[in-house]
DNA sequence: TATGAATGAGCCTTCATTCAT
DNA sequence: GATGAATGAAGGCTCATTCAT
């Protein structure tokens, strides 16, 4: 049921999507949509929330806390790209949407904060005061790569990790 | 006239912004708005277009084609962040908005393509077939850093470049 | 079961009251409500009917047909005000509601007709052709006084009768 | 434009009346209705307000402050019934409607308060502490008579005054 | 030419009402 | 026999868009 909503939202955008459309796609009637998931805004947030949770969970499942930090990082990224590759609609598009729309920025920011925090812990500690913005930029690179994955279906999502590895200094240049 | 539109769009978001509002802010009447800039969608695209053009131009002006590639890159980035810092409304917010909204993705993609192309020419040529996605990810990191700049006014935008330098392998790892 | 309906209707008004709400308050499920009392409109009419019947009955019980007409009248009024005082929800509010709403005006009119008829028989017979409208106005005064009683709980409802006696010529001016 | 609204509201009741219907009847389009008169609730209140103001004005115009109190009263009543007779839709029905509907009770109460006050000043001062409820009941009788007038078109509205005179002790039984 | 005034079209939301269990 | 779950239908409201002045 959320699946249908995610599909429609991702295909048409938040505002262009109509509740009629979503209800139809979900195979239920509009009043049910409202009964189960509340207002359109709440529905969108629910979508966002589910996708974000799943994504974060997929990453957490992949990261081995006992491994060395950089391996954790690459494992996490691999999981990330794999997930995005498997949830085109779900993640990337919702994410792209929610980023700008005011009522949803908060939700996205929260999720990104979780990821930045996760990443921050894995970055070399050479420059403590810079960690936040640097991690932020790293997440940006990762997201862009995710967009690339989404826009190039059929390609092995594992490549994304390899390519990032080429771009980023972290794995080789550890200085901590 | 576009200035007013940009200001309103960035403050309220594409859908929340009303043509009344924009016409008022521009000091003209709605029919004129339509006469000069067409539909709301076209108006937004016009805004996007102008901001994108200005940004790219600012970068091109800063890059010295005769300088070594990596210096070109860092000069371009400095210009980029300086521009974004000076055009908060114009760039970041419009950009954040347009990214997801279907009718505008094309325009954003076009601009990003220009930047990717620009960057691609400056990246080390070690892996020709990977250049596009890697440049794409780099642009993503840059955009994220731009967001960070926009969200932290008062900070020196020059820091953004320094920080990116710390993140990216490019300056040191040149292998071409 | 009607009690719940009356309570809800009086508290929230006919349209604001939902069948869900009423069913909940009655401790049964909506389909039962429909099975027993039919449509919402019919339900409201049923409420109206019961309250009207009870009120008229209370009056009839109080009036002693063998007493002189004006004593009958005052006894009836006393009973009326006492009843209204004891059935705030039931009478006044339903009545106030039903008066304007088109589908219910008939029911209210019917009840009022019964009261007018009752009163007509007790009025001095000086002007036979005028009896109906005069009785009608008298009933109006009585109803207004009833509203006053309802809006001033805690006051002795007996006062209402005294006050009406001051307003109306009837007890003194009998000419039949 | 308010005329159309009054007509529709009186014919169909507040809730049954649709804005489409009213706009059609007014010969304009719905957005204009909203532009000029705001929300449906506000529209209804505007109707109420206008009718109430007109009615009170008609009464004030008829009352001669220099005349003796009881003559003032009868003059006011005559004007009242004449007005109601000429504004069937406008007054009686709106009044009947607004009385019960919660958001409008205030408006009606305000108008009635004005009338009660007006009447109170004209009642014999024999029982000062009772004046309010008694005046209230008197207004009720007057309103009922107004209903009768509305429900019997073609009859001379002057009769209403005569009949009230028969009912009420005031004109003859003055004791102040 | 520039605008005040007007509208068609559509969206979100809510209930009274009824099946299938 | 009783209900949880489902819906058709409609209503208020807004906004991009355009005539008539």
Q: Does residue B127 or residue C87 have the better pLDDT?
A: C87
Interchain CB contact of D41 with C (< 8 Å): no
pLDDT digits (tens, 9 = 90+) for A107-125: 888 888 888 788 777 766 6
SS3 of residue A39 by DSSP: coil
pLDDT of residue B137: 92
Query: How far apart are the C-alpha atoms of D165 and B13, rounded to whole Å?
Result: 68
- Average pLDDT, integer, range D99-122: 80
Q: Is the pLDDT of residue B176 over 70?
A: no
Interchain CB contact of A160 with B (< 8 Å): yes
- Average pLDDT, integer, range B139-165: 91
Nearest nucleotide relative to A29: CA against C1': F7
List all residues 6 or more positions away from B10 whose beta carbon is below 8 Å from its beta carbon. Answer: B88, B89, B90, B93, B94, B97
pLDDT of residue B80: 93
The token pair at D65 is 């402050």
Taking alpha carbons only, the member of B85, B94, B93 closest to residue B153 is B85
Q: Is the pLDDT of residue C86 over 60?
A: yes
pTM higher than 0.95 for the full model?
no
pLDDT of residue C7: 92
Q: Is the pLDDT of residue D153 over 70?
A: yes
The token pair at D47 is 């109707």
**Distance from residue A12 (CA) to nucleotide E8 (C1'), in Å?**
23
Q: Is the pLDDT of residue D175 over 60?
A: no
Backbone angles phi, psi at A122, to 5 degrees: -105, -10
pLDDT of residue A127: 60
Q: Does residue D89 or residue A91 have the better pLDDT?
A: D89
Backbone angles phi, psi at D6, to 5 degrees: -60, -45
Dihedral of CA atoms B128, B133, B135, B140 in degrees, nearest 10, equals: -170
SS3 of residue D168 by DSSP: strand
Q: Is the pLDDT of residue C91 over 90?
A: no
pLDDT of residue A9: 92
pLDDT digits (tens, 9 = 90+) for D39-75: 999 999 999 999 988 998 998 899 888 888 778 888 8
pLDDT of residue D102: 77
Query: How far apart are the C-alpha atoms of C86 and D12, rounded to whole Å?
Result: 33
pLDDT of residue B125: 65
CA angle C62, C68, C71 (to 5 degrees): 50
pLDDT digits (tens, 9 = 90+) for C62-80: 988 888 888 888 899 999 9
Cross-strand pairs, A168: B168
Interchain CB contact of B158 with A (< 8 Å): no
List all residues 6 or more positions away from D94 whose beta carbon is below 8 Å from its beta carbon. Answer: D6, D9, D10, D47, D48, D51
Within 7 Å: CB of A60 and strand F? no
pLDDT of residue C120: 82
Place D19 in a pLDDT band, splitting at 50, 70 and 90: very high
Q: Is A160 within 8 Å of B16 when comparing Cβ atoms?
A: no
**Distance from residue D102 (CA) to nucleotide E4 (C1'), in Å?**
37
Q: Is the pLDDT of residue C148 over 50?
A: yes
Q: Is the pLDDT of residue C34 over 90?
A: yes
SS3 of residue A168 by DSSP: strand
Contact C2, C46 (CB under 8 A): yes
- Average pLDDT, integer, range A127-132: 74
Contact A105, A98 (CB under 8 A): yes
Alpha carbon separation from C58 to C55, C82, C83, C145, D84 (Å, rounded): 5, 9, 7, 17, 34
Query: How far apart are the C-alpha atoms of A76 and A74, rounded to whole Å?
Result: 5
Lowest mean pLDDT of A5-14, A139-148, A155-164, D92-101, name the range: D92-101
Percent of chain B with pLDDT over 70: 93
Please give the span between the terminal C-alpha atoms of chain D, in angstroms, as a whole number. Answer: 47
CA angle C53, C56, C62 (to 5 degrees): 135
Query: How far apart are the C-alpha atoms of B1 and B30, rounded to whole Å?
Result: 12
Q: Which residues of C30-44 are buried (b: 16+ CB within 10 A; e: fewer)?
A: eeebeeebeebeebb
pLDDT of residue D71: 84
The token pair at B165 is 């330098």
Place A93 in a pLDDT band, splitting at 50, 70 and 90: confident
Q: Which residues of D touch C158 (CB under 8 A)?
A: none
Query: How far apart are the C-alpha atoms of D166 and D172, rounded to whole Å?
Result: 10
Place B50 in a pLDDT band, splitting at 50, 70 and 90: very high
Mean pLDDT over all residues of chain A?
85
pLDDT of residue A110: 85
Query: How far apart are the C-alpha atoms of C27 and C90, rounded to whole Å?
Result: 19
pLDDT of residue C176: 38
Contact C29, C46 (CB under 8 A): no
Q: Is the pLDDT of residue C126 over 70?
A: no
Dihedral of CA atoms C137, C138, C141, C142 in degrees, nearest 10, equals: -140
- Average pLDDT, integer, range B7-29: 92
pLDDT of residue D86: 92
Q: Which residues of B touch A133 (CB under 8 A)?
A: 145, 148, 159-160, 163
pLDDT of residue B74: 87
Interchain CB contact of C120 with D (< 8 Å): no
pLDDT of residue A124: 66
To probe the interface with A, which of B17, B48, B89, B100 has the most A CB atoms within 10 Å?
B100
- D19-26 helix and D30-37 helix, angle to the nearest 10 degrees: 90
Residue of D nearest to C126 (CA): D166
> What DSSP character marks residue B82?
H
Place C173 in a pLDDT band, splitting at 50, 70 and 90: very low
Query: How far apart are the C-alpha atoms of B79 and B71, rounded to whole Å?
Result: 12
Interchain CB contact of A38 with B (< 8 Å): no
Contact D170, D121 (CB under 8 A): no
Contact A35, A60 (CB under 8 A): no
pLDDT of residue A83: 93
pLDDT of residue C125: 65
Query: How far apart are the C-alpha atoms of A93 and A23, rounded to whole Å?
Result: 20
List all residues 6 or more positions away from D55 whose beta carbon is below 8 Å from its beta carbon. Answer: D80, D83, D84, D87, D91, D111
Q: Which residue among A96, A127, A172 places its CB closest to the CB of B166? A: A127
Contact C146, C169 (CB under 8 A): no
SS3 of residue C168 by DSSP: strand
Taking alpha carbons only, the member of A3, A134, A17, A101 closest to residue B99 is A101
Q: Is the pLDDT of residue D170 over 70?
A: no
pLDDT of residue D149: 92
pLDDT of residue D145: 93
Interchain CB contact of C148 with D (< 8 Å): yes
Within 7 Å: CB of A114 and strand E? no
Query: How far apart are the C-alpha atoms of A93 and A87, rounded to whole Å?
Result: 10
**Distance from residue D31 (CA) to nucleotide E6 (C1'), in Å?**
8
Please give the span between the terminal C-alpha atoms of chain B, in angstroms, as a whole number. Answer: 48
Q: Is the pLDDT of residue A175 over 50?
A: no
Lowest mean pLDDT of A53-67, B90-104, C94-108, C115-129, name the range: C115-129
List all residues 6 or more positions away from C47 whose beta carbon is below 8 Å from its beta carbon. Answer: C2, C5, C6, C9, C94
- D131-151 helix and D102-120 helix, angle to the nearest 10 degrees: 110
The token pair at B77 is 């980035």
pLDDT of residue A170: 47
Burial of D139 (0-12, 13-18, 19+ CB in 10 A): buried
Question: CA D55 from chain center: how many Å?
Answer: 6
Percent of chain C with pLDDT over 70: 93
Residue nearest to nucleotide E4 (CA to C1'): B29
pLDDT digits (tens, 9 = 90+) for D73-105: 888 889 999 999 999 888 877 888 887 787 888
Q: Which residues of B touch A159 (CB under 8 A)?
A: 133
pLDDT of residue A176: 38
pLDDT of residue D30: 93
Cross-strand pairs, D168: C168
Q: Which helix (H) or strand (E) holds C133?
A: helix C131-151
pLDDT of residue A126: 61
Chains A, B: CB contacts within 8 A come to 122
Query: How far apart are the C-alpha atoms of B127 and C108, rounded to whole Å?
Result: 89
């Amino acid at each position: 049921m959320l699946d249908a909503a995610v599909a429609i939202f991702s295909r048409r955008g938040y505002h262009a999507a109509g509740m009629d459309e979503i209800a139809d796609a979900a195979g239920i009637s509009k009043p049910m949509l409202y009964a189960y998931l509340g207002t359109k805004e709440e529905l969108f947030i629910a979508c966002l929330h589910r996708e974000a949770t799943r994504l974060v969970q997929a990453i957490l499942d992949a990261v081995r806390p006992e491994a060395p930090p950089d391996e954790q990082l690459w494992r996490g990224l691999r999981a990330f790209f794999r997930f995005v590759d498997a949830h085109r609609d779900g993640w990337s598009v919702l994410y792209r949407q929610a980023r700008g729309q005011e009522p949803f920025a908060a939700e996205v920011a929260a999720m990104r904060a979780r990821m930045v925090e996760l990443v921050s812990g894995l970055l070399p500690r050479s420059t403590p005061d810079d960690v936040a913005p640097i991690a932020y930029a790293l997440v940006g690179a990762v997201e862009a790569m995710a967009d690339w994955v989404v826009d190039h279906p059929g390609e092995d999502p594992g490549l994304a990790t390899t390519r990032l590895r080429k771009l980023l200094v972290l794995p080789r240049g550890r200085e901590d």
